[in-house]
Amino acid sequence: MGRRGVREEIVEAALEQFHVQGYNAAGVKVITDAAGVPKGSFYNHFDSKEALAVVALERYGAGRPDELTRGEGEPLARLRAHFEALRDGVVRYDFTRGCLIGNFGTEIADHSDVIREAVRQSLAQWTDAIAAVLAEARDVGTLRAGLDPPATAGFIVNAWEGSLIRARADRSADAFASFFTLVFDALLAKDSPEAP
């Protein structure tokens, strides 16, 4: 087994290169060059680029469940702050980076069952964390009782990923403004009408 430091350098470089260039353009040599390690050391730590991509996805989403469910403050404010931070990251990079989960889902999931499953699991974990926050908000009375947290969480993740694609295509935050208005001011507003 190789040194932990080299493995971590490769994972961090991969996370950056996958995010900047995409899965297909970020070859093993590109990643090891960015990590400052010899290409041969890659195979001491990973069986394939696919295996590294799975680790990169896990690392990318690792903090989300805790950030959402164990963070401080009122649940819906915490959820909004989560999406505001994601939006701010996209704007900071001039709309050239999206969500690594969504990027992999659109670029490579049709061609790799391993990555498709990792994308599916990442989306499920994120959705579950959002559902937990929504259930917490419902339990403390800041969300209407009739809202189904798992179904609503799935819709919110889907709406975010679609908004992100639109924002990147338009190079504009307008899609994010619509997301926040429709999700937080309409769907999650306590006084919104009950769904039929």
Q: How confident is the model at residue 192 (pLDDT cuts 50, 70, 90)?
A: low
CATH superfamily for 4-57 is Homeodomain-like (1.10.10.60)
Convert the pLDDT of each residue in 154-185 to its tens digit: 999 999 999 999 999 999 999 999 999 999 99
pLDDT at 194: 52
Domain ranges of the chain: 4-57, 63-187
- CATH class (in words) of the domain with range 63-187: mainly alpha
Residue 195 has pLDDT above 80, yes or no: no
pLDDT at 196: 38
pLDDT at 3: 47
Q: How far apart are CA 95 and CA 90, in angstroms?
A: 5
pLDDT at 61: 87
User: What stretches of the chain show up as alpha helix (H) in DSSP?
Assistant: 4-21, 28-35, 39-45, 49-61, 64-69, 75-92, 100-107, 113-139, 149-170, 174-180
Convert the pLDDT of each residue in 30-87 to its tens digit: 999 999 999 989 999 999 999 999 999 999 988 788 888 887 889 999 999 999 999 9
- Compute φ and ψ for 12, nearest 5 degrees: -65, -40
Q: At what angle do helices 113-139 and 75-92 cross, to 10 degrees?
A: 140
13: amino acid identity, one letter: A
Q: How far apart are CA 150 and CA 15, in angstroms?
A: 29
Convert the pLDDT of each residue in 5-17 to its tens digit: 999 999 999 999 9
pLDDT at 67: 81
pLDDT at 65: 80
Residue 2 has pLDDT above 60, yes or no: no
pLDDT at 193: 54
